[in-house]
Amino acid sequence: MKLLSGKEIKEEIKVGLAERISSIEEKISLAIIQVGNREDSNAYIAHKKKFGEEIGAKVSVYTFSERTSEEDVISQIEKLNSDETVHGIILQLPIPEYLDEKRIIESIDTSKDVDGLTSYNVSLLYKNKKSVVPATARGVLTLLDYYDIAVQGKNVVVVGRSLLAGKPIANTLLNRNATVTICHSYTENLDKITKGADILIVACGVKHLIKENFVNNKQIVIDVGIHSVISEKDELEIPGKKYTGDVDFAEVSKIVSAITPVPGGIGQLTVACLYENLLDVYFEARN
Amino acid sequence: MKLLSGKEIKEEIKVGLAERISSIEEKISLAIIQVGNREDSNAYIAHKKKFGEEIGAKVSVYTFSERTSEEDVISQIEKLNSDETVHGIILQLPIPEYLDEKRIIESIDTSKDVDGLTSYNVSLLYKNKKSVVPATARGVLTLLDYYDIAVQGKNVVVVGRSLLAGKPIANTLLNRNATVTICHSYTENLDKITKGADILIVACGVKHLIKENFVNNKQIVIDVGIHSVISEKDELEIPGKKYTGDVDFAEVSKIVSAITPVPGGIGQLTVACLYENLLDVYFEARN
C-alpha cells in the first residue's frame, strides 16, 4: 500500500507560490468575507490567513455579524470588486440560511472569484473550458498529477455531490476523460459501485463511511473528508484538533493499492490551491 | 419488451401547449437565429417552425450568411432581447467555427434562453436550482415520467457528454437522485459499464454503438441518437428522411425490458419540450 501524502506537495507549492509572489511588484491580496462567527469558519479563515501571509500575500478578513443584511455584504463585495489592490474575493461558507448565498456569490466579480463558484466559472468548468477550479478539486488533480496517476478512460467513482467538492471533482475528472460515476445518499448498493472503481474519491462528509467491503486491492482511494475527532493539541490541518476522514483508514489501507491519509492528504492541498487560483486570476487579469 | 413510444406523449403535450397558448392574449413568440445554410439545420428549423405555428405560436427565423460577423449576430440578439413581443430566443447549433459560440450564447437574455445554454441557466442546473432544462434532457425526463420510471437511487449510465444532450441529461438525473455514470469515447470497457445500468441513456452520436452485449434483460434503454439512413419519403421526425439511433434496435430490443424506438422515441419530444420551455419562461417573466 502506497501512502499518497499531501504534505510534501504542499511544501513544494508553498515555495513556488512564495517565489512567484516575491517577483511581483504589487502586493498580492485576498479578501475573505465572513458572516457570523462559526468556530470551524474561524479556524479555516485563520489557516488561510496564516498560509497567505507566509507566502507574502496580504489577506484581509471582512467579518459581518449574524444579523447583517444581504445588501451590506454585497455592498462590501462591490467595493472589493472595484478595488484594484484586491485580486481575489472569497465568501467563507456556510453563511447563515436567511441570506441568499447564490445572490451574494454572483455579486463577486468573476475575475476575482478564486473559489470558482460564480455561474460564469461553474459554467466554464461544466463546458470544459479554462476556468477557476474550486480549490478542493484542484487539490485532487494536483495530488493525482504528483503521483502520476492517469485518469483518462479510468473508472472514477466520486461519492458526494456538494458544490465545493463532489461536483467540481466529478466535472474536472470528466474533463480529463475519466469515466465518472457520481454517488450520494440515495445511491443503492454503494459498496458494489465503489468496489468497481479504479479510483475512488470520497467527499460525502460521513465519517468512516467507506469500510473494507467498499474497496478492492487494485484501487486508489482519495479521501476528501475531514472530521474532527477530539480536541487535542496536534500538528494537523488546524492546530489543536485531531482529524479523520470519510474513509475508515485502518480497515481500507490494508486492502487498497494507494490511499491518502487524513490528516496529511487532500486537506494539506486545499489552501495551497486556493492561492494558486489567486495567482492564476492575477496573471489572467493582466494578460 | 415494452416499447417506450414518444408519439402519444408528443400529441398530449401538443394539445396542452395549444390550449395554454390560446388562453394567452399576447402572441407567444420564438426567435430562431441561424448562421449559414446547413441542410440538417434547415430541416430542424422548419420542423420547429411548423410545430410552433401548429400550436399557435409565432416563430421568426433570422438567417445570417456564412460570413456574418459575431457583432452582427449579437446585435440582432440584443434587439430581440429588448423586444417585449419576443419571448424566447434560440441559436440553431452548430454555427460556423470562426464564430465564438460561447460569446453569442451569452448575449441571449437569460430570461429568453429557452435552450438553457447560457452560463446562468447551466449553473442553475448544475446547482440543482429551478432552471431551463435543455429540450432533449426535458424530453428524457418527460418520457420517464410518462411511463412511471423512477430514477431515484437507480444506476443510470449516460453515454455521451455533449452540452446539448449528455451533460444536461446526466445533471437532471443526478438532480433527481439517480446514481449517474457518464461514459464517452475514452471510456474503457464500455460494454461492461452499460450492462450494469438499470437505465441506459445513449446520446453519443455513434450509429448502432450499443449492441446486444451492452445490455441486460432488466434494463430500460433510452436512445437519444438520430442518424439519417436513407433519404426516403416517410412520416418521421423530419419528413423525407429515414432515421435510426445510437442503439442497434433490432439486437437490443430482443433483450431489454423496455426501449425507445428511433424514430418515434425521444426525437418526438424534443421540439415539444422546447415549446414547454418557451411557455415556462413566458410565465416566469410575468410572475
What would the pLDDT profile of A23-38 be if each residue is shown by its tens digit? Answer: 999 999 999 999 999 9
Test the B interface: residue of A161, A175, A186 with most B CBs within 10 Å? A186
DSSP class of A180: E
pLDDT-derived band at B180, boundaries 50, 70, 90: very high
pLDDT-derived band at B287, boundaries 50, 70, 90: confident
Give pLDDT tens digits for A167-194. 999 999 999 999 999 999 999 999 999 9
- pLDDT at res. B234: 43
Q: Which of A119, A179, A186 sits opposite B181 (nearest CB)?
A: A179
Kindly give the residue spans of alpha helices, DSSP state H, lying in chain B. Answer: 7-22, 39-54, 70-82, 101-106, 119-126, 135-146, 166-175, 190-195, 249-252, 267-285
Catalytic residue among B10, B49, B92, B219: B92
* Domains along the sequence of chain B with CATH: 27-109 (3.40.50.10860), 135-267 (3.40.50.720)
A188·B122 Cβ contact <8 A: no
pLDDT-derived band at A20, boundaries 50, 70, 90: very high
SS3 label, residue A55: coil
Kindly give the residue spans of alpha helices, DSSP state H, lying in chain A. Answer: 7-22, 39-54, 70-82, 101-106, 119-126, 135-146, 166-175, 190-195, 249-252, 267-285
Tell me which residue of B285, B287, B281 sits closest to B114, measured CA to CA.
B281
Cell numbers 418515434 label which residue? B264
C-alpha cell at B42: 434547415
Q: What pTM value is reported for the model?
A: 0.94
Q: Which of B126, B152, B187 sits opposite A186 (nearest CB)?
A: B152
Give the up-direction half-sphere exposure of residue B218: CA atoms within 13 A in the CB hemisphere.
Answer: 6
B179·A174 Cβ contact <8 A: no
| Buried/exposed A59-75: b ≥16 CB within 10 Å, e otherwise | beebebeeebebeebbe
Task: Please state the φ and ψ torsions of residue A117, each to the nearest 5 degrees.
Answer: -110, -10
C-alpha cell at B264: 418515434
B281 close to B89: Cβ distance less than 8 angstroms: no
Q: Mean pLDDT throughout B101-106?
A: 96
Kindly give the residue spans of alpha helices, DSSP state H, lying in A23-165. Answer: 39-54, 70-82, 101-106, 119-126, 135-146
- pLDDT at res. A74: 98
B36: CB partners within 8 A, 6+ apart: B64, B65, B66, B95, B96
C-alpha cell at B95: 454555427
- pLDDT at res. B233: 45
Nearest-neighbour CA in chain B from A100: distance (Å):
13
Give pLDDT tens digits for B45-90. 999 999 999 999 999 999 999 999 999 999 999 999 999 999 999 9
C-alpha cell at A163: 458544490
How far is it, in rounded angstroms, from Cα B143 to Cα B247?
17
Test the A interface: residue of B156, B182, B200 with most A CBs within 10 Å? B182
Residue B231 pLDDT more than 70?
no
How far is it, in rounded angstroms, from Cα A152 to Cα A198?
11
A155·B188 Cβ contact <8 A: yes
